[in-house]
Amino acid sequence: MKDPKLFLVSAPSGAGKSSLIDAALVRANKSDLPLELSVSYTTRLPRKGESDAKDYFFVSKDEFLDKKNSNFFIEFAEVHGNLYGTSIDFVESKLSLGVNLILEIDVQGFRQINDLSMNYESIFILPPSIHSLEERIRNRGDEDLNAIDLRLKNAKDELEHASEYKHLIVNDSFDKAADELFNIIAQNESLNKINDEEVQQFLAQLLSY
Ligand code: 5GP
């Protein structure tokens, strides 16, 4: 069996990251590939339908800061005005069981793990267009207008960092993008593959808006 790895997956909100990760988890399950999604800690309030210990460990700001001060997190960041962090124990216990782990984290978290000597792959998911990104953020319908504006601004800022990641996936066709994500995780393609020219050109085009 190959050594288990971390798969750091980032995307601007509205790029369809969570659905792609769900699809990759289903594919892994069908292929008997041990793969789970890391459950982060956050000070954000639960959205409708979210539950504690499944979507996030929802904690108060004081609790989060106590954990941060006792080096509980492998990485943490403030995103859209809330704190998010990944537990070292959670990650280590899964890896020691041979389970590959997806970390759905932002660029700041990716950089912190990048500085550690861990076995990981980094993946950035691009939206098919800036227009689609804006539409998805506006249609989430669960937040106030200021939060939407902040998410839009952050989404554009995050895109600026996409080229720091080893793998870029364009979420233009859902099934194709889900296959690409799963193939990277299952190591079905050369891990030395450099993002092809077409994707880089596409990214440059997104950034020019
Ligand atoms: P949401 O509030 O929509 O669930 O997540 C907002 C952002 O926080 C997303 O970009 C997500 O990737 C990021 N995020 C979620 N959990 C973590 C975490 O543990 N660490 C970091 N650095 N970012 C996270």
- CATH code assigned at 115: 3.40.50.300
* pLDDT for the residue numbered 20: 96
**β-pairing, 35-37 with 100-104?**
parallel
The answer to whether position 114 is within a domain reads yes
- CA contacts within 13 A on the Cβ side of 151: 22
The answer to whether position 53 is within a domain reads no
Write the CB contacts of 152 (distance below 8 Å, at least 6 apart in sequence).
133, 134, 137
Q: How far is the CA of 84 from the centre of ligand 1 (A)?
A: 6
Is any atom of ligand 1 closer than 6 Å to the C-beta of 158?
A: no
Q: Which residue range(s) make up the domain with 196?
A: 6-38+100-207
| CA 86 to ligand 1: nearest atom | 19
Q: Which residue has the tokens 């006792």?
A: 70
The tally of domains found in the chain comes to 1
The answer to whether position 80 is within a domain reads no
Q: How far is the CA of 17 from the centre of ligand 1 (A)?
A: 11
The answer to whether position 78 is within a domain reads no
Diameter over CA atoms, the chain: 48
* Stated pTM of the model: 0.90
| Per-residue tokens: 36 | 């789970």
Q: Which residue has the tokens 């041990």?
A: 34
The answer to whether position 33 is within a domain reads yes
Average pLDDT, consecutive stretches of 10 residues, N- to C-terminus, the chain (209 residues): 90 88 97 97 95 97 98 95 96 96 96 89 92 81 73 86 94 94 83 68 84
Sign of the alpha-carbon dihedral angle for 89, 154, 22, 112: negative
The answer to whether position 185 is within a domain reads yes
The answer to whether position 157 is within a domain reads yes
User: What is the b/e burial string over 174-200, where b = at least 16 CB atoms within 10 angstroms of the residue's CB?
Assistant: eeebbbbbbebbbeeeeeeeebeeebe
**β-pairing, 167-170 with 120-126?**
parallel
Residue nearest to atom 19 of ligand 1 (CA): 85
* pLDDT for the residue numbered 111: 95
* pLDDT for the residue numbered 141: 63
The answer to whether position 91 is within a domain reads no
Helix (H, G, I), strand (E, B) or coil at 6: strand
Residue nearest to atom 10 of ligand 1 (CA): 106
| Per-residue tokens: 78 | 């403030």
